[in-house]
Amino acid sequence: MVFRLLVFVLFISVVSAQSTYQVKAGDSLSAIARAYQVSLNDLITLNELANPDLLEVGQLLLIPSIVDLSSPLPSPFLSLEFEPKTTVQGEIQILTVTLETDGALELSYLGNVLPGIQKGTDYQFLLVTPVLQSAGPTNLHLSTYSGENKADLFYPITVQEGSYERENINLSGETSSLLAPEIVNREHALLNTTCSSFSPSRKWSGSFQYPIENPDFSSPFGTLRSYNNGPVSGYHRGLDFRGQTGTLVHATASGTVTLAETLELYGNTVIIDHGLGVCSAYMHLSEIDTDLGQEVTQGEIIGKVGATGLVTGPHLHFEIRVMGVPVSPQQWFHELRW
């Protein structure tokens, strides 16, 4: 079987069918979107408007229309299958799109273009829904090209709440100084950049494994956090494992080490790129036992549990990110079979 990589660098404008509207004096794009009950972003994207505030009287705008889920999909779309079927804050779904014929397929979701893999007329994508994404209706966009023919699909989905709890963490004065905005922003930017790098192949197969033997969880993914009884300032981007200093840490899946260094906030940190925009991160290590650029296999030792960086005691902070967005690691251990 031949797999072909789908990589796209533009935001895709896609709809299932469309009508037109002629701009009148006094019109605004937001008012037109409200009148037709469509997303302002969809209207901007579909019409490729560089400046949505500049409309001309008489200008023709394409109006996106939603798919009727009770009717068959428009040609050449045969089916869309979501696994799991429910879209939840902080989780991912595997979307499989089947077309009638082989052709280029583009997908955007929540303003991001997502890469995927192609196998014949089947196309698979990882849909990433951030923890802080508003619950409620949204949509994804699909556009396919075959020769000179172009077909578009605007597909509605509903984001469900992730039911994340809140917690307060008390830090000493010395430790809390690590929460200075310049440190937090710098390290978050580094993680986002490192985990947003896209490598053109999938380096893992099957489920991911726990990075620590006999895992014991101390803090779940997605918890809304405050420090020293202050306001909520973010959420827990990973899953914490209890462990004594020196406990062995293993690669959750095969991949390439793309970061192995000491950070102020996260301490000794290792990041592994697993391909297709998926990475895993291992933080607060007492020791790093791998090197930048090293190819590692699932289960290989990459470090030891520690208490470096912003911590209250020894533990492993473990993250999985897809295109830079933190997602629930538990899905990768149990649910996903991609």
Residues forming a β-bridge with 63: 19
Percent of residues in the chain assigned helix, strand, coil, to nearest 5: 15, 40, 45
17-65 CATH: 3.10.350.10
| Interatomic CA distance for residues 113 and 125, integer angstroms | 10
- State the Cα angle at 115 between 114 and 117, rounded to 5°: 140
For residues 220 and 240, what is the distance between their CA atoms, to the nearest angstrom?
A: 7
Strands laid side by side in the 224-227 sheet: 166-169, 224-227, 234-235
- DSSP states of 213-259: SS--EEE-TT-EEEETT----EE--SEEEE--TT-EEE-SSSEEEEE
* Residue 313 DSSP code: S
Q: What is the Rg, in whole angstroms, of the alpha carbon atoms belonging to the chain?
A: 22
Q: Which tens digits make up the pLDDT trace of 90-117?
A: 999 999 999 998 888 989 898 888 888 8
Could you give the CA distance from residue 208 to residue 194 in angstroms, rounded to a whole number?
20
Tokens representing 248 are: 């062995």
DSSP H/E element including 190: helix 181-196
Q: What is the pLDDT of residue 12?
A: 31
- pLDDT of the residue at 68: 62
Provide the whole-model pTM.
Answer: 0.78
Q: Look at residue 139 in the predicted model and tell me its pLDDT.
A: 84
HEC string for 71-140: CCCCCCEEEEEEECCCEECCCEEEEEEEECCCCEEEEEECCEECCEEEECCEEEEEEECCCCCCCEEEEE
**pLDDT per residue of the chain (338 residues) written in tens, 0 to 9:** 333 434 332 233 334 445 788 888 888 888 888 777 777 877 887 787 888 888 989 898 887 766 666 678 888 899 999 999 999 999 999 999 999 988 889 898 988 888 888 889 999 999 999 998 999 988 888 888 776 777 878 888 899 998 888 888 887 776 667 678 888 899 999 999 999 987 778 899 889 999 999 999 998 999 988 888 888 878 999 999 999 999 999 999 999 999 999 999 999 999 999 998 999 999 999 999 999 999 999 999 999 999 999 888 999 999 999 999 999 999 999 877 66
Say yes or no: domain 166-334 is CATH 3.60.70.12.
no
Q: Name which of 259, 321, 329, 252 is nearest 293 in CA terms.
A: 259
Domain boundaries, the chain: 4-12+68-160, 17-65, 166-334
CATH architecture of the domain formed by 4-12+68-160:
Sandwich (2.60)
Buried b (16+ CB within 10 A) or exposed e, 71-96: eebeebbeebeeeeeebbbbbbbbbb
